[in-house]
Structures are given as C-alpha cells and as structure tokens.
Amino acid sequence: MEYRYLTQDILEKIENYKAKFPLKEQAIIPSLHEILEKYRDIPEKAVEELSDYLSVPLAEIEGIVSFYDMFRYKKNARNHIRICRNLPCHLARYQNILKMIKEKTGADVGKNSPDGKWYIELVECIGSCGIAPAFLINNDLYDGSKIKTEEDIEEILSRYE
Ligand code: FES
C-alpha cells in the first residue's frame, strides 16, 4: 500500500511507539494522536493506512476512532466548518449561523455536502467567547455577530472556493 497520510515523520514516530510497547495494538492511540496533530482530524484514508502499517484490523482502529470524541473523521471534505455550541455562543444564537451555512453549503452537521467541499461539526468552546457566536473554517476564526445576512455568509464561503 502506498501511504499518502502516513508521511515519513509520522512513520518514524509510529516506529518509536512500536518499539516502546510490547503489543502493536498499544501503538494505535499514540499513532492516532500523531495523525490528529498533523491533520487536525483523522482522515478515513489515514486509518486505512494505519491499519495496513500496523497489521491491525481496520475495524479495531475504526472502533477506537469512533469511541473517543477527540478522534473525529473529517469525512474527506475539503473544508471543515466548526461551529461552537456552548452557552455564550448558544445565547448569541449560533443556530442562525448554522442554518445559513447549511443552506449555502448543502452540508449538515456530521455530513459532507454533496459536492464534497464542506463538512460541518458542532464543537465545544473554541476559546473565543468574546466574539460569540464563533466558528472556524479550517484554521480561520470568524466572529458570527458580524454576520447579518446570507450575503455575508456567501462572501465568507466564497473565499474557500
Ligand atoms: S462558548 Fe463559543 S467560543 Fe466559547
């Protein structure tokens, strides 16, 4: 198998984990952390590659990914939208932002848009309560209080076309 997500630096770290632990299964979680750190999510393809590399059944790694909230599949969409749903953002009506984003992208919470460009996730506080409702598109932080119309959302989304 050709590895696209398990880059040389990740493979080196996985090798260290394999050497450190008596069972190869014990290398799964630290390896997933390495993938998470590099990609900020767990791409499905990376899980397949890890399964191949460690010779551990795919279902076993998938089970770990779905069990722990910290390991989330990106579903391979090109852009990942994270909308905070905690109290300050709730009071600032994050639902309005979510509704507009859903309408404009065709994606839904936990689901890719049909064109594969967008994935929406509701997340816990992203440390930006001062600009509630706050959301991220990939690594870019947005102040939802400045978004008043659908055109405002369209303009932001167009930056990622
Ligand atoms: S509660 Fe939404 S950013 Fe903190």
> Are residues 133 and 144 in contact, defined by beta-carbon separation less than 8 angstroms?
yes
Q: What is the pLDDT of residues 121-160, one digit of tens each?
A: 888 888 889 999 999 998 789 999 999 999 999 999 999 9
- Does ligand 1 come within 6 angstroms of the Cβ of 134? yes
Diameter of the chain measured on Cα atoms: 57
Q: Which CATH superfamily is domain 79-159 in?
A: Glutaredoxin (3.40.30.10)
DSSP state of 78: S
Give the percent of the chain with pLDDT over 70. 96
> Are residues 156 and 145 in contact, defined by beta-carbon separation less than 8 angstroms?
no
- Does ligand 1 come within 6 angstroms of the Cβ of 123? no
What spacing in Å lies between the alpha carbon of 143 and ligand 1's midpoint?
A: 11
Number of the ligand 1 atom closest to the C-alpha atom of 128: 3
- φ, ψ for residue 87 (rounded to 5)? -50, -55
CATH no., domain 8-67? 1.10.10
**Interior/surface letters 109-143, b for 16+ CB within 10 angstroms, e for the rest:** eeebbeeebbbbbbbeebebbebbbbbbbeeeebe
Domain boundaries along the sequence of the chain: 8-67, 79-159
Pairing of strands 79-84, 118-123: parallel
Pairing of strands 134-137, 79-84: antiparallel
Which of 129, 136, 145 best tests ligand 1's pocket when mutated (most atoms within 8 Å of CB)? 129
Q: How confident is the model over 7-29, as a mean pLDDT?
A: 93
What spacing in Å lies between the alpha carbon of 88 and ligand 1's midpoint?
A: 6
Q: Which pTM does this prediction carry?
A: 0.59
Cβ count near 38 (within 10 Å): 16
67 pLDDT above the threshold of 80: no
What pLDDT does residue 68 have?
A: 76
What pLDDT does residue 53 have?
A: 97
Confidence of residue 70 (pLDDT cuts 50, 70, 90): low
